[in-house]
Amino acid sequence: MPEVNLKVKWPDNAVSDVYSPSTIVCQYFTEGDSMTVKEFVSKCTTALEHASKRVEERYGYACTSAMSSIYTVQSIAKDQEGDKTVEILELT
């Protein structure tokens, strides 16, 4: 399956990559998108769970890397304050 990396800029100006095992995340995000941290975590969790299910349908097992990405995003988000925004810098 083609994989996608989201490069995101957090409210504290940190930039991180979020790995997806599937291009399905491109249905959830586009370059230049900006959203609250809460919305990003929600959409990202949904997109990566969907991506993991696609892997499972094809290969018979869920993608642990997608689950790890969800955990990382949720962990980073805990350190962000209020209704600040996350920006999608690129999808590669």
Helices marked H in the chain: 37-59, 64-78
DSSP state of 25: G
Return d(Cα 14, Cα 55) in angstroms, integer: 29
Question: What are 35-83's pLDDT values in tens digits?
Answer: 999 999 999 999 999 999 999 999 999 899 999 999 999 999 998 877 8
pTM over 0.75: yes
Domain range enclosing 61 = 4-91
Return d(Cα 26, Cα 47) in angstroms, integer: 9
pLDDT of residue 1: 61
User: For residue 57, with 0-12 CB atoms within 10 Å meaning exposed, 13-18 middle and 19 or more buried, which class applies?
Assistant: exposed
Structural domains of the chain, count? 1
